[in-house]
């Protein structure tokens, strides 16, 4: 016998058995429906047949049995994963560091130098104080007159904020012992 003819014969037998199974299913459902119409309660039919009362209700009402659709569940999970990936991609495109602690630069202009350093270090940032000999005005001596980066900007913790502080003009001396010249820069490390 030709292999193709053998496959055709098996297919015909398979289709006949499917038709027979379908006709037996219909007869079975009609018998259950007849039991229900004769006044037998659903729970009693279910107990006698070893089914749940919900399944008997489906048979009586003509609803097809609900099958768990794993494809829908997998599609839902895939959708969530795509949404998460899109979020991370958008954050990456926006150059937002993920899972990196950040701090906002405090506004410290016009504060005394030691107060400004304290405020910056409290935020987890390093402070570099640059003393400039300027003659802006006596009221701003030893006060911050400029800072970089600008206040309000978010930076990674541990970044350095530069504070520019006015000190008296050259002919004035610092309060350093032995009239040593004032240092022009200090660096304050953030507390970990």
Summarize pLDDT for 31-60 with one digit per residue, the tens: 988 988 898 888 899 999 898 888 888 888
Q: Are residues 124 and 54 in the same domain?
A: no
Q: Which residue has the tokens 């027979």?
A: 20
Q: Which residue has the tokens 């006698």?
A: 48
Strands 126-133 and 185-188: antiparallel
Residue 24, domain member (yes or no): yes
**Residue 166 belongs to domain spanning:** 102-188
Q: What is residue 107's predicted lDDT score, i.e. its pLDDT?
A: 92
**pLDDT (tens digit per residue) in 148-167:** 888 989 888 888 999 888 77
pLDDT tens digits for range 86-114:
887 776 666 655 566 888 899 998 888 88
Asked whether the bond before 105 is cis by omega within 30 degrees of 0, the reply is no
Q: Which residue has the higher pLDDT, 103 or 138?
A: 103
3-state SS record for 44-96:
HHHHHHCCCHHHHHHHHHCCCCCCCCHHHHHHHHHHHHHHHHHHHHHHHHCCC
Task: Indicate whether 54 belongs to any domain.
Answer: yes
Torsion of CA 13, 16, 21, 27, to 10 degrees: -150
Q: Report the pLDDT value the prediction gives residue 77, as an integer from 0 to 100.
A: 84
The pTM for the full model equals 0.43
pLDDT recorded at residue 129: 86
Same-domain check for residues 29 and 107 = no
Residue 96 within any structural domain of the chain:
no
Report the distance separating Cα 53 and Cα 98, nearest Å.
Answer: 52
What pLDDT was estimated at residue 58? 87
| Residue whose structure tokens are 């970044």 | 159
pLDDT at 105: 92
Domain count, the chain: 2
Decide: helix, strand or coil at residue 162.
strand
CATH value at residue 147? 3.30.10.20
Place of tokens 């979020």: 87
Helical pair 3-37 and 53-61, crossing angle rounded to 10 deg: 100
Same domain, 111 and 164: yes
- Assigned domain for 97 exists: no
2 pLDDT higher than 70? yes
Is residue 129 in a domain?
A: yes
Is residue 112 domain-shared with residue 183, that is, in the same domain?
yes
Residue 91 in any domain: the answer is no
Report the share of the chain in percent with pLDDT over 90: 7
Query: Average model confidence (pLDDT) for the chain?
Result: 79
Place of tokens 């904020």: 161
Q: Are residues 45 and 113 in the same domain?
A: no
The verdict on residue 90 lying in a domain is: no
Domain assignment present for residue 111? The answer is yes
Same domain, 113 and 164: yes
Based on the fold, state whether residues 50 and 116 are members of the same structural domain.
Answer: no
């Amino acid at each position: 016998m030709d292999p193709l003819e053998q496959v055709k014969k098996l297919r015909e037998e398979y289709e006949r058995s499917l038709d027979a199974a379908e006709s037996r299913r219909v007869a079975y459902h009609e018998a259950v429906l007849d039991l229900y119409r004769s006044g037998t309660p659903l729970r009693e039919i279910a107990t006698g047949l070893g089914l749940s009362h919900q399944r008997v209700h489906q048979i009586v009402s003509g609803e097809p049995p609900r099958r768990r659709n794993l494809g829908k569940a997998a599609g839902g999970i895939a959708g969530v994963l795509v949404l998460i990936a899109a979020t991370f991609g958008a954050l990456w495109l926006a150059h937002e560091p993920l899972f990196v602690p950040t701090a906002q630069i405090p506004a410290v202009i016009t504060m005394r130098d030691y107060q400004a350093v304290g405020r910056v270090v409290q935020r987890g940032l390093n402070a570099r104080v640059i003393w400039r000999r300027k003659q802006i005005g006596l009221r701003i001596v030893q006060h911050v007159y400029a800072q970089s980066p600008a206040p309000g900007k978010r930076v990674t913790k541990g970044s350095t904020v530069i504070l520019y502080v006015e000190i008296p003009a050259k002919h004035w001396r610092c309060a350093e012992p032995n009239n040593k010249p004032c240092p022009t820069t200090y660096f304050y490390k953030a507390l970990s």
